[in-house]
């Protein structure tokens, strides 16, 4: 089984393939018009055998912030999640009045 910190690095690098600015937990919103923040929610349906965890499945939130409502990164997130064969759902979007950015959210499970 992979170390948890190794899994965090893999998630970060995967998202870095579609957006130059990727942050874990928090970002200064004044720096960019396009960035991703991700964070783990906890453990999902992990796999156990012989009283040991064999595979840890993480439940993760991905938050994309963009200025343009038709920004191609929106589709790139979904294409990436499909390419990685991850279970995911689009949780919606909202306009952030304090930054002027559109905030898109996905929930995913990384096995």
Q: What is the pLDDT of residues 75-84, one digit of tens each?
A: 999 999 999 9
Q: What is the pLDDT of residues 9-50, one digit of tens each?
A: 999 999 999 999 999 999 986 778 999 999 999 777 766 677
HSE of 52, CA atoms in CB hemisphere, 13 A: 3
Q: What is the pLDDT of residues 47-69, one digit of tens each?
A: 667 776 667 789 999 999 999 99
- Torsions phi, psi for 87 (to 5 deg): -80, 130
Q: What letters, b where the CB count within 10 A reaches 16 and e where it falls short, cover 37-68? A: bbebeeebeeeeeeeeeeebbbebebbbbbee
């Amino acid at each position: 089984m992979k170390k948890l910190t190794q899994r965090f690095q893999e998630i970060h690098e995967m998202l870095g393939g579609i957006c130059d600015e990727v942050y874990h937990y928090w970002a200064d919103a004044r720096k960019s018009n396009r960035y991703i923040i991700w964070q783990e929610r906890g453990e999902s349906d992990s796999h156990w055998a012989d009283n040991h965890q064999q595979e840890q499945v993480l439940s993760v939130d991905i938050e994309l912030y963009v200025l343009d409502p038709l920004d191609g990164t929106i589709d790139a997130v979904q294409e990436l999640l499909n390419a990685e064969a991850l279970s995911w759902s689009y949780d919606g979007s909202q306009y952030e009045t304090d930054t002027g950015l559109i905030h898109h959210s996905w929930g995913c499970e990384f096995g």
